[in-house]
Amino acid sequence: MVEKNQPIWFSVFKANPSRLDAHCAEALGVSRADIKRLIETSDVLLNNSPCKPSVRVKTGDEVSIALVAHSTTPQVSRAQRIGDQIIANEWAISIVHDDHDVMVINKPFGLLVHAASNNAGHNVVAMLIDAGVPLAMGQQHRPGIVHRLDQFTEGLMIIAKTQAAVDGVHHQFKCRQVTKHYYAVLKGVPASLEGVIDRPIGRDASIRARKSCHHFIEGTQKDAITLYKVRHQWSNGCFVDVDIKTGRTHQIRVHFASLNCPVLGDSLYSNQPKKSVGYLLQSYYLSFSHPTTNEPLEFKLPVSDRLKKYAGQTNDGKDTNQHR
């Protein structure tokens, strides 16, 4: 049985024209063959008209897609918005802020931001689209994405609903006008309980999935700055408050691994075994200016249940931290 969802639409913003099938496949994280089948059955419309997979799309074009769930694909329930939650199967995305241009969500740990070749289940982008949230084309032609969180990093994340939001928030990230703070649990304690890690990060020369401060491919490195302060410590670990001044892929994980204090549970950057709860990172604070009104926006989350036992807090929430 084939089930067609409500059509989704997005505008094209590309410097160079590209094939419709290639553009849609890249944008939605699905195979080009699947998109081609949808185009051939008129489930993809370009400017409200049927077209061929080879037609070139350009900036200003409007694309609508009626996604089809085939019986050969994993059977996952459609996401739906219920109050301030977007829910599908075991996943629940909390909506912290929502207006015409931007949405701020609390991403749960374990949920991918966008589709991946090795994971055909739910992801943030698919859930938002399924729930009817309008998304502008963002980072790397992915709807709504102006920055990302790693799979097992939970917490605050900005979603762009309009092109004005994409452009405005992207400009703020580029000019380092967005403030992002994280909580991290480390295996080990840094020699300095407060400090700055200023080490460039590039593609690891040996392991494709990794980034590195020391063994990167020359020419791929970019400056990366991380500020941290230990808030609570014990014999073989600590709970730290992190302020990243740049937003490099895996930045916090790479920087603390370079201090021989990897994020607890991070099997990619240490020899720790994989755990179902993953590595312990939370994006807890976010501030930026609204992209159209310029209004200051500020959001803060409490320490998550996953990290709370490491944060020096009692069960009633009282803070017992010794390092301030």
Give the active site residues.
150
Strand 225-234 versus strand 194-198 pairing type: antiparallel
Q: How many CA atoms lie within 13 A of 3 on its CB side?
A: 10
Angle, CA of 48, 31 and 251, to the nearest 5°: 110
CB 159 within 8 A of CB 144: yes
Give the sheet arrangement for strand 44-46, strand by strand: 8-11, 62-65, 44-46
* Segment 303-309 long-range contacts (CB within 8 Å, at least 24 positions apart): 303/183, 304/109, 304/154, 304/155, 304/183, 306/109, 306/154, 306/277, 306/280, 306/282, 307/183, 307/185, 307/239, 307/280, 307/282
Strand 18-19 versus strand 56-57 pairing type: antiparallel
CB 82 within 8 A of CB 45: no
Return d(Cα 103, Cα 88) in angstroms, integer.
18
Return d(Cα 60, Cα 196) in angstroms, integer.
44
Report H helices in 108-188: 124-130, 163-174
